Amino acid sequence: MKLRNKLSLTFAMVVLFTVALLALLSNLFINSEFKKYIAAQQEQSARDIVALIGAQYGGAGSWDLGMVNSIGLKAMEAGFIVTVYDNEQNILWDAIQCDMAGCMKVINNIEARMRQQYPHMKGEFTSRDYTIMRQGVAVGTAKISYYGPYFLSDNDSNFLRSLNTVSFSVGLTCLILSIAVGLYMSKRISEPISKAASAARRMSNGDYTEHIEAENDTAELTELVDSVNHLSKVLSYQESLRKQLTADVSHELRTPVTSMQTHLEAMLDGIWEPTRERLESCYEEAARIGSLVKDLEALARIEADGFSLNKDWISLKKLWSKTINIFELELEDKNLSVTLDGDAREIFADEERIQQVAVNLLSNAIKYTPDGGIINITLTETKYHVLFSVADDGIGIPGNEIPFIFERFYRAEKSRNRKMGGAGIGLAIVKSIVLAHGGEVKADSFPDKGSVFTVTLPNG
Ligand code: ADP
């Protein structure tokens, strides 16, 4: 069943149940209160009739029988059958004797109406005797019969009927409204969900192009739509990186492989003498491929690990001394001097990875600094961070290229760098590792003046 139908159905069911319950309870309550009220009213009417008859006593056994007659007839019309006796039990006035046909009509009407409206009520005409009092003295008895425990006049039953009609119409209106609102609400809720679902399906088929637009003010749904959009962006970015990587790798490999192939071919065909120089050139190309593969391996390892870091407390000063030692030969070869200044407290980090950062930065500094240059490594700390910078007085990087040097395969002034052997992966590795530690890395550089790479790492 579709979410939308399910939601609207549930909504309608809940409202239907509530409205039905409300209508039932209010009906029961109103009916029972109304009946009590009517019963009390009838009892009061009977007493009023008795009091009115009492007022017709003229004293010394005399009655205004004309008035008693009209009171009795009026009472009969209202459903009260009256018989009046004097103190000696003589009948003074009797409704049945007076107007038998009228009485029967009233009785039959009331009985028929009550039986129709309340078939389960066991009502019947009952009589009660009331003592007629006049100035505190009993002057006779009135026997009053009416349909009990209560009966409804035409007006009363009309009133009840319109009350029921009103509650039924209110219930029906609520139900229709609730169905309309339910349909609208469930459409609003289900729309972004189904859009997100179909976007996810498209993504699983490799289509990351579509951006879902779903107007909604429900926080969770907005979050869902945003997450799906973000996911599609990330996947599409990764997809383009993957394609880019393949293109870059083949491009990087093509040059050395072609050059090696043509050289070797020429030597095999006897066009070229296999001199030491030519063999050395082939060896250099092979070495270039070797180092590219090594870089790629390092990058792949870092990215494949999902940056699981093996953290421990490490001293940056010790780490840098070790790193400088690794490059002793190269430094001597190029007659470069290295200084290590400052200090910083220990940080909680992955030693091997941070060492890799140091190695990459120092090897770049060595690579891009001409013979006799100076490299300064400085350690500092702030309240929440420790920093190290690697400054050289080498060839520098053009300002417009600085934003790109941390991207894979990016080499500033490409022609110049192919000579130097880098594949443009070292700084991408540096950036990945530093970001994985929650830190940041930046470069400042001026062509022919030198470069400074600064890494900031959080304490913990
Ligand atoms: P590569 O293997 O080419 O050195 P990197 O990712 O380490 O790749 O560096 C990217 C580019 O940034 C380099 O090709 C180079 O142009 C520039 N670069 C990096 N470090 C320095 C530096 N210390 N001095 C000058 N240029 C640098």
The pLDDT of residue 415: 45
| Alpha-carbon 380 to chain mean position | 45
Tokens standing for residue 344 = 């910083």
Q: What is the pLDDT of residues 212-270, one digit of tens each?
A: 887 777 888 888 888 998 888 888 877 877 787 787 788 778 878 888 899 899 999 99
- DSSP state at residue 404: G
Percent of the chain with pLDDT over 90: 34
Residue 338 to residue 379: CA distance in whole angstroms: 14
CA distance 315 to 82: 115
* Residues flanking ligand 1, CB < 6 Å: 360, 364-365, 368, 392, 394-397, 405, 410-412, 417, 422-428, 451
> pTM, whole model, 2 decimals?
0.51
Q: Report the atom number in ligand 1 closest to the C-alpha of 411.
A: 14
How large is the C-alpha radius of gyration of the chain?
A: 52
d(CA 278, CA 276): 6
Ligand 1: centre distance to CA 262 (Å): 29
Q: How far is CA 261 from CA 251, 264, 273, 286, 340, in A?
A: 15, 5, 15, 11, 45
Q: Which residue among 362, 363, 364 is best mutated to probe the pocket of ligand 1, counting the most ligand atoms within 8 A of its Cβ?
A: 364
CB crowding 278-304: b at 16 or more within 10 Å, else e: eeeebeebeebbeebeebbebbeebee
What is the whole-number distance in angstroms between the Cα of residue 323 and the centre of ligand 1?
Answer: 18
Q: Convert the pLDDT of each residue in 161-216 to its tens digit.
A: 888 888 888 888 888 888 888 888 888 888 888 888 998 999 888 888 878 887 77
- Expressed in angstroms and rounded, the spacing between residue 402 Cα and the centre of ligand 1 is 10
Query: What tokens appear for 183 in the block?
Result: 């349909």
Residue 141 near residue 132 (C-beta atoms within 8 A): yes
**How far, rounded to the nearest angstrom, does the alpha carbon of residue 83 sit from its chain's CA centroid?**
78
Longest dimension (CA), the chain: 166
Mean pLDDT of the chain: 86
pLDDT over threshold 70, residue 418: no
Sign of CA dihedral 241, 242, 245, 247: negative
Mean pLDDT of 261-286: 90
Q: For residue 159, give Cα distances in angstroms to 12, 21, 43, 77.
A: 31, 22, 20, 19
